[in-house]
């Protein structure tokens, strides 16, 4: 969206600020300025407008924003129009057949116009906004669109059918197979879901998208019919998308224009046409508006604004002043000191109290909102669970310091990609952007692997990525859960159709299982959490069957770590992990227990044990840590070597373990250490068949 600063200054009483300062003001207000460009004696701001802000797709919309942000006022003038001649109703009759698709339709007639190039001021304005000037009539409709955000269309009135001396316009659904030659010279085949403007004989325009070629304004045009309307956004969106026909008009209609701004824009355009092209404006405007769309009245509690934002409570007088600049008027008070506001119809994005709270935060400035919200109660008075947010921040910081880059992907993806991770009973979207975005993700790995592939194509040979995000699971009619859901099945409600879980997943390329395991162990140490790495008992078919492990937290599966299955080919060299943050949050950040430094020295004993190659290092540590005779003096036990080869018979392996012993009350004697260690050797032999390596 291109905005002229020169035009803005004619619409709002702005302080003496540079273009960059104005851009900064808009950015702080939540509108993204992508570029600032000079154009002759003007400066153009290029804005990126989000789909929920159709009001900002015009100079008047941006003028309101600046008025509210800069504590000033707009200087909008009501259109002034001179009507001459007979009434429009003597010449034009409107019939809206598709009332839901077209809640309002209006038009004016201007007779005796002279088609010519636009005057210099209008010619330059359109060029500065990236538009190609055509002629004075079409240029006026385009200028008013950019000025007010209301699309208009001009028909050559003399090309419309008048079987009884009057034009009978119909706003109706197209007939199946009906054809329309549009302004771009292409013949369009229409469906019954398309909305058209028609005279008695034919369709003359594709409503809200593009006019027809037969009725376009040409050099021979003398009389015009000027259209202004409000169309239901969803229908326009579907038609434009189906035909691949995106225009400035459809772009605005499909986001929502102002139903109560239809006549003001129509009068503004008719007045400008009369000024630069001559002609007579017939009396009255034909306006079909059977069910008036009224502004919403919404209550806002100032204390609720403070609760959500963490800002000090804003005075009601300041809220009223700020909102008034946006066109949001005060309409009284409600119960519990709530203020009532009337929201204009050009702001379809504001429908509830929370939307007004967001507006207030924008106007005050997001830079003023505390980085950490200073309250510990939820809106229903219950204590907030802040541990999940704290855990996520901690893990992101840790992994970033460990050399990982954070990835952020969409929460939906391609069913084909998701099925690689055995996704079942996918939750699909009703109106997806495309097949590749049609299902809610049941795994973070499709997005992470796409990120990895992209980097590999760019010759990045070493990369570690992580992502924290929600995954979505459903249940099939038999009540079974997707494969990955087994990790947290104990937390899923038995009757829940859909479940959201917060996961953290990562990928390291090329993979090193033990290096990644060491990073995770350090991460768990920083969280004061004790976990166990065990062979895959919860089989995940996308992992390598013999180079992977489950991660257990007490008796619950927390996640997994391992290489991808060889079927992934190039990506099989990547080592991945995933952790259930919802489960982890309840076990970390426990209060720190301070212990005095030990007064007495400890003793270390190293044992090299030969065991069957199927015996796990974790099994040896489990026996040592649970051996009652040794437990009173056991401080720690760690594996420091695993060996197979010369000197070890086939089918066996040597595992070396360090045992750290200490008595907090006295210095240990050799006898106090040797007896329990000898008993431990017997225990290891009995339970695991372990013998000392000679």
- Over residues 575-633, the pLDDT tens digits come to 999 999 988 988 887 766 777 888 999 999 999 999 999 898 888 998 999 999 898 99
Q: Looking at 83-87, 104-108, 331-335, which range is the least confident one?
A: 331-335
For 460-491, the pLDDT digits (tens) are 999 999 999 998 876 543 444 444 444 544 34
CA distance 316 to 308: 16
Per the prediction, the chain carries an average pLDDT of 87
Residue 260's pLDDT band (cuts 50, 70, 90)? very high
634 three-class SS? strand
Which residue ranges form the domains of the chain, and what is each CATH number? 2-69 (3.30.56.10), 83-288 (3.50.40.10), 296-368 (3.30.56.10), 387-587 (3.30.930.10), 603-692 (3.30.70.380)
Contacts of 225 (CB under 8 A, 6+ apart): 92, 107, 108, 109, 154, 155, 157, 160, 167
**How high is the pLDDT of residue 378?**
40
DSSP class per residue in 93-153: EEEES-TTT-SEEEEEEEES----PPPHHHHHHHHHTT-----HHHHHHHHHHHHHS--EE
- CA dist 48 and 62 (Å) reads 12
pLDDT per position as a tens digit, 122-137: 999 999 999 999 999 9
Sequence-ordered alpha helix ranges (H) in 373-492: 387-401, 415-419, 445-457
Give start and end residues of each alpha helix (H) in 255-373: 262-277, 302-309, 316-325, 353-364
**Nearest of 526, 522, 442 to residue 482 by alpha carbon:** 442
Task: Return the C-alpha torsion angle 25, 29, 32, 33, nearest 10.
Answer: -20
* 8 Å CB contact between 333 and 340: yes
Got the DSSP string for 561-588? EEEEPGGGGGGGG-EEEEEEHHHHGGGS
Nearest-CA neighbor of 410 among 472, 338, 489?
472
pLDDT at 121: 93
Distance of CA 424 to the CA centre of its chain: 24
Query: pLDDT confidence of 432, banded at 50, 70, 90?
Result: confident
Query: What is the model's pLDDT at position 494?
Result: 41
96-100, 309-313, 403-407, 557-561: range with lowest mean pLDDT: 309-313
Residue 191, CB half-sphere, CA atoms under 13 Å: how many? 8
Q: What is the pLDDT of residues 217-249, one digit of tens each?
A: 999 999 999 999 999 999 999 999 999 999 999
pTM of this structure: 0.62
What does the pLDDT read at residue 214?
93
pLDDT of residue 497: 54
Per residue in 11-54, pLDDT (tens digit) is 998 888 888 989 988 887 788 899 999 998 899 999 999 888 99
Give the pLDDT band (50/70/90) at residue 311.
confident
């Amino acid at each position: 969206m291109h905005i002229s600063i020169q035009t803005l200054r004619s619409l709002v009483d702005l302080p003496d600020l540079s273009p960059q300062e104005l851009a900064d003001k808009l950015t702080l207000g939540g509108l993204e300025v992508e570029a600032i460009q000079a154009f002759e004696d003007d400066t153009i701001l290029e804005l990126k407008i989000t789909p929920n802000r159709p009001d900002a797709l015009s100079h008047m919309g941006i003028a309101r924003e600046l008025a509210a942000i800069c504590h000033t006022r707009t200087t909008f003038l009501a259109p002034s129009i001179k009507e001459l001649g007979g009434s429009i109703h003597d010449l034009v009759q409107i019939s809206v057949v598709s009332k839901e698709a077209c809640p309002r339709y209006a038009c004016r007639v201007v007779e005796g116009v002279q088609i010519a190039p636009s005057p210099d001021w209008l010619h330059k304005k359109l060029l500065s906004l990236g538009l190609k000037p055509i002629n004075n009539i079409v240029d006026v409709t385009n200028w008013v669109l950019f000025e007010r955000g209301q699309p208009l269309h001009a028909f050559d009135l003399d090309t419309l059918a008048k079987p009884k001396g009057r034009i009978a316009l119909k706003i109706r659904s197209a007939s199946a197979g009906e054809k329309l030659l549009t302004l771009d010279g292409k013949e369009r085949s229409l469906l019954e879901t398309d909305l058209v403007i028609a005279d008695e004989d034919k369709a003359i325009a594709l409503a809200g998208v593009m006019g027809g070629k037969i009725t376009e304004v040409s050099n021979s045009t003398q009389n015009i019919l000027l259209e202004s309307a409000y169309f239901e956004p969803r229908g326009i969106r579907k038609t434009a998308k189906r035909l691949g026909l995106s225009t400035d008009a459809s772009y605005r209609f499909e986001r929502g224009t102002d139903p109560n701004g239809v006549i003001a824009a129509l009068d503004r355009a008719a007045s400008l046409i009369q000024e630069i092209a001559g002609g007579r404006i017939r009396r009255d405007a034909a306006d079909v508006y059977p069910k008036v769309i009224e502004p919403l009245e919404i209550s806002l509690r100032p204390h609720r604004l403070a609760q959500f934002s963490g800002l000090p409570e804003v005075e009601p007088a300041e809220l009223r002043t700020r909102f008034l600049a946006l066109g949001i008027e005060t309409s009284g008070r409600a119960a519990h000191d709530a203020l009532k506001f009337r929201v204009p119809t050009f702001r379809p994005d504001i429908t509830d109290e929370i939307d007004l709270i967001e507006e207030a935060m924008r106007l005050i400035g997001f830079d003023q909102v505390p980085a950490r919200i200073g309250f510990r109660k939820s809106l229903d008075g219950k204590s907030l669970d802040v541990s999940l947010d704290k855990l996520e921040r901690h893990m992101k910081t840790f992994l970033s310091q460990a050399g990982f880059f954070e990835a952020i992907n969409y929460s939906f993806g391609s069913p084909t990609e998701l099925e690689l991770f055995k996704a079942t009973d996918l939750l699909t979207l009703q109106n997806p952007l495309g097949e590749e975005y049609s299902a809610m993700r049941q795994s973070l790995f499709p997005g992470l692997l796409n990120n990895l592939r992209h980097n590999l194509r760019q010759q990045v040979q070493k990369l570690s990525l992580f992502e924290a995000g929600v995954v979505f699971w459903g249940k099939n009619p038999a009540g079974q859960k997707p494969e990955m859901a087994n990790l947290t099945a104990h937390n899923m409600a038995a009757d829940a159709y859909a479940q959201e879980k917060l996961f953290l997943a990562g990928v390291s390329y090329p993979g090193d299982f033990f290096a990644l395991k060491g990073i995770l162990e350090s991460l768990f140490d920083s969280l004061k959490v004790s976990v166990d790495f065990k062979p895959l008992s919860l089989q995940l078919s996308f992992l390598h069957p013999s180079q992977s492990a489950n991660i257990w937290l007490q008796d619950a599966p927390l996640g997994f770590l391992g290489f991808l299955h060889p079927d992934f080919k190039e990506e099989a060299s990547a080592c991945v992990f995933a952790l259930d943050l919802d489960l982890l949050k309840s076990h970390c950040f426990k209060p720190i227990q301070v212990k005095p430094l030990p007064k007495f020295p400890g003793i270390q004993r190293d044992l090299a044990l030969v065991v069957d190659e199927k015996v796990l290092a974790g099994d040896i540590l489990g026996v040592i840590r649970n051996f009652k005779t040794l437990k009173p003096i056991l401080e720690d036990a760690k594996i420091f070597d695993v060996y197979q080869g010369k000197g070890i018979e086939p089918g066996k392996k040597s595992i070396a373990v360090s045992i750290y012993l200490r008595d907090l009350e006295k210095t240990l004697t050799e006898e106090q250490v040797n007896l329990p260690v000898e008993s431990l050797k017997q225990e290891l032999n009995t339970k695991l068949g372990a013998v000392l390596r000679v």
